[in-house]
Amino acid sequence: MKFVLEHKFPRRLRYAKFYFQAGPTSVHFSLDGTSADWHATIGKRKKTAMTDPEYARFRALVPAMELLDVDDDKVLIRNVAGYEELWEKPRWTLESAHKRNG
């Protein structure tokens, strides 16, 4: 499958968003002023499950800087690398991780 998008943008592009999905493959691109962000996936996302000792070793390597939100079964933290991590308890399953600009 081939998908092509052509557009002549004005001289000052303020905002653009592009999303394409075919089966298990997806591409997402967004442009907002001077900030650009893109994500691409092929196949199903695999969750990372850790035991308590494995999670403790991971936290020692990449320490949590800030606790953003706590729910009964989920924890959202920001690590020292600037990534936000959403963890599902009690088995410490990483649901998502992404970096926020700004």
Q: Are residues 64 and 82 in the same domain?
A: yes
Give the pLDDT of the chain (102 residues) as one tens digit per residue.
555 666 566 666 667 777 887 777 788 787 776 777 777 777 766 667 788 888 888 889 989 999 898 888 888 899 998 888 888 877 788 777 777 665
The angle formed by the CA atoms of residues 58, 92 and 43, to the nearest 5 degrees, is: 90
- Structural domain boundaries, residue 68: 48-99
- Between CA 53 and CA 50 the distance in angstroms is 8
Same domain, 52 and 94: yes
pTM of the model: 0.49
Residues 7 and 24 in one domain: yes
Number of domains observed in the structure of the chain: 2
